[in-house]
Amino acid sequence: MTEKRQLIQHVKDHLRDSAYDLVHGWPWLGRGWLVELGMMGAGARALIVAEYRVTGLSPDVIAELIAEVGPLWHEQHQGRLAARPRRRAVGAGAKHKFVFVDRLLATLVSLRHGTTHDVLAFWFGVDRSTITRAIGEVRPLLAQRGCTVAPGIRLGSLAEVIEHLGSDGRTGIIDGTEIRVRRPAAGRKDRDRFVSGKTKQNAVKALVLTDTEGRVLFCSPVRPGSCADITQARQLGLVELLVDSPFLEILADAGYQGMGAQTGGRVVTPPHRKFKKNAPAWYEERHEQQRKAHSSRRIRVEHGIAHLKNWRVLARHLGRREHMSDIVQAVAALLSHQQTATLGHGLRA
């Protein structure tokens, strides 16, 4: 058994029994992370892990996150300690008590419920700045994981997603989603760039790509709300990727009309209306049938976006806009991991 799989199994056992000290062999976990540390009590921490509604993730998925992201955070933390001028060796001095597991749980609760850092600081018994710094360290590590399509298989870029779909001739579905953000300060340059032409609100926009089952395969970095859906897709290089790929079908809404001709018919949009007015009754009926048939095929992407918006931080973000790309991609990575785990559990059952 590899070290990673061994650690995952130990974490799962510990979540069930609350009696195993995981610090042996993995010092970054912190000694006795499910015992009272003067911060969050064992019962509260165990409840966060065990209750799906708190984080949106099963205990098994959280265990895998601990085993995967923990060593990356520890390496990053040690790198920061070694990079700055020091009078004492790395490891000397006071040890931080806010262990990695608590940092991860605080980040998950913040993403799932949009909980303020003040409230999280009270729960975990630390200062607000400690929570802010911890989330700022863990969130990028979650964002760079990519979307999980199968155990051990992740897609980190749009090119990998297109290759994955094209290898089996699968159908993908794309759509843009907007997330409300705070209005830039008065007098700031390009203040109106974040105003969405559709909702007339300050927002950022991300492109979401799912499969025909609604599983999230890709979520792009965000763009200001004034950016059109088709413009964002072109800036991501979707046209070039589709032209150079084997033939596959990408379903899209009317906001992407025009990409079908640019991609050799790979992007399928709703039927174009030929009659502007005074259309014959037979044409109206056929056009409506075709439009509804197309909508029925691409409705799964709306379900995928709805699952993303279940994470409160994507319903409306009140923090800094500069963090939105990491937030969106971290949520997409976590959601796809849980979707894949749930599907695999159902298949095994």
The string of DSSP codes covering 325-341 is: HHHHHHHHHHHHHHHHH
Q: Could you tell me which of 331, 343, 342, 327 has the C-alpha nearest to residue 59? A: 342
pTM of the model: 0.84
What does the alpha-carbon distance between residue 69 and residue 76 come to, in Å, rounded to a whole number? 11
In whole angstroms, what is the distance from residue 306 CA to residue 281 CA?
Answer: 36
pLDDT at 345 (0 to 100): 59
Q: What's the pLDDT at 160?
A: 93
Q: Give tens-digit pLDDT for 89-146.
A: 776 766 677 888 889 999 999 999 999 999 999 888 889 999 999 999 999 999 999 9
- Using CA atoms, how far apart are residues 191 and 296, in angstroms rounded to an integer? 38
Contact between residue 332 and residue 210 where contact means Cβ atoms under 8 Å apart: no
pLDDT over threshold 60, residue 1: no
Q: Which two tokens stand for residue 107?
A: 């980040």
Average pLDDT, integer, range 213-232: 93
For residue 67, what are the β-bridge partners? none
Beta bridge partners of 150: 153
- Long-range contacts at 59-64 (CB < 8 A, ≥ 24 apart): 59/12, 59/15, 60/12, 60/341, 61/334, 61/337, 61/338, 61/341, 62/11, 62/15, 62/104, 62/105, 62/108, 63/8, 63/11, 63/12, 63/15, 64/8, 64/337
pLDDT score, position 145 = 93
pLDDT tens per residue, range 235-270: 999 999 999 888 889 999 988 988 988 998 899 998
Please give the pLDDT value at position 283. Answer: 75
Tell me what the mean pLDDT of segment 267-284 comes to: 79
User: pLDDT tens across 32-61, in order?
Assistant: 433 333 345 556 677 788 888 889 999 999
pLDDT-derived band at 192, boundaries 50, 70, 90:
confident
The pLDDT of residue 347: 40
